[in-house]
């Protein structure tokens, strides 16, 4: 079996075939996947019936797993999955679909906004790996936007303007956009804003990209409304359809993306049906 990575027609993402990621892989295969990630930023692996354990094992070959702690309003004791897996499902700890008025569901709706995983952490995430255990029949696509291409397409004046700008990111900002503002004092403390550069350079390729995210709430030194209006404009520019790959899920897909050069979001789906998606996240190793 030979691993093969092909560009998905018309987009930046790649599809990897000829590989079984449910089994241990040799170092050179891992290196080839990393090289594919540097190039494509999003890789799709079809027909990978992963368990939590095999997903962890595959993920750990790319770095340390990030803990989910501090990233949600669900209390640790109420979690469906252990802390080294992010729960991107619409299920509670008893595998029941969250009700329409459930506070955890409101929080999850923030995933409908374009974001980069863990941009609200001082050291943001490297890769995310999302496994589709039960996928939505209609909708529930994950869309990815290429922040390198978006940066490259900016005019020179805008590139000069954003060079050196620093943004504040917090889960409070993304949830505030949806009117989810009823947070406890403990949650507010947990979601304290962190600083991120607006332009970041990829550590391997050296390519510049826009570091945008719905978690970005202001630009240091700017009046907040002016910063928000500008970040909205940049986000609109950066998420034009020509920069976007929309992933239609099949069961047992694993999609892996580089948060250092992409944004993503989930599209609307019928939330009365179970959708069980499990994410492992590779911690970053340095501030952006």
State the residues that interact with another protein by CB under 8 A.
100-101, 106, 109-110, 112-113, 175-180, 217-218, 223-230, 232-233, 267-268
Asked if residues 114 and 142 have their Cβ atoms less than 8 Å apart, the reply is no
Question: What is the closest distance, in whole angstroms, from the C-beta atom of residue 269 to another protein in the complex?
Answer: 12
Three-state DSSP at 257 gives strand
Question: What is the closest distance, in whole angstroms, from the C-beta atom of residue 232 to another protein in the complex?
Answer: 8
Three-state DSSP at 173 gives helix
Q: Let me know how long the chain is.
A: 288
Nearer to another protein, 60 or 242 (CB): 242
Question: What is the closest distance, in whole angstroms, from the C-beta atom of residue 240 to another protein in the complex?
Answer: 8
SS (H, E, C) 21-60: CCCCCCHHHHHHHHHHHHHHCEEEECCCCCCHHHHHHHHH
CB atoms within 10 A of CB 23: 9
Q: Which residues pair with 87 in a beta bridge?
A: 278
Question: What is the closest distance, in whole angstroms, from the C-beta atom of residue 87 to another protein in the complex?
Answer: 18
Question: What is the closest distance, in whole angstroms, from the C-beta atom of residue 117 to another protein in the complex?
Answer: 18
Question: Pairing relation of β-strands 208-210 and 199-201?
Answer: antiparallel
Asked if residues 275 and 90 have their Cβ atoms less than 8 Å apart, the reply is yes
Q: What angle do CA 267, 83, 266 make, to 5 degrees?
A: 5
Nearer to another protein, 101 or 185 (CB): 101
């Amino acid at each position: 079996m030979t691993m093969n990575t092909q560009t998905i027609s018309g987009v930046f993402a790649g599809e990897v075939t000829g590989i079984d990621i449910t089994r241990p892989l040799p170092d050179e295969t891992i290196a080839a996947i990393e090289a594919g990630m540097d190039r494509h930023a999003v890789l799709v692996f079809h027909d990978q019936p992963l368990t939590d354990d095999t997903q962890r094992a595959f993920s750990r070959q790319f770095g340390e797993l990030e803990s989910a702690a501090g990233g949600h309003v669900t209390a640790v004791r109420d979690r469906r999955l252990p802390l080294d897996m992010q729960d991107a499902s619409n299920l509670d700890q008893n595998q029941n679909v969250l009700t329409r008025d459930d506070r955890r569901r409101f929080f999850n709706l923030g995933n409908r906004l374009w974001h980069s995983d863990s941009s609200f952490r001082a050291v943001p995430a490297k890769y995310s790996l999302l496994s589709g255990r039960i996928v939505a029949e209609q909708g529930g696509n994950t869309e990815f936007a290429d922040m390198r291409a978006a940066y490259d397409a900016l005019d020179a004046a805008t590139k000069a303007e954003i060079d050196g700008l620093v943004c504040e990111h917090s889960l409070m900002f993304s949830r505030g956009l949806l009117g989810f503002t009823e947070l406890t004092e403990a949650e507010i403390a947990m979601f304290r804003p962190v600083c991120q550069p607006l332009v970041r350079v990829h550590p391997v390729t050296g390519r510049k990209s826009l570091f945008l995210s719905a978690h970005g709430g202001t630009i240091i030194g700017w009046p907040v409304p002016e910063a928000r209006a500008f970040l909205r404009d940049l986000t609109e520019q950066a998420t034009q359809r020509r920069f976007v790959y929309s992933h239609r899920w099949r069961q047992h897909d694993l999609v892996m993306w580089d948060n250092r050069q992409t944004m993503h979001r989930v599209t609307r789906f019928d939330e009365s049906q179970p959708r069980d998606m499990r994410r492992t996240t590779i911690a970053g190793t340095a501030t952006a």
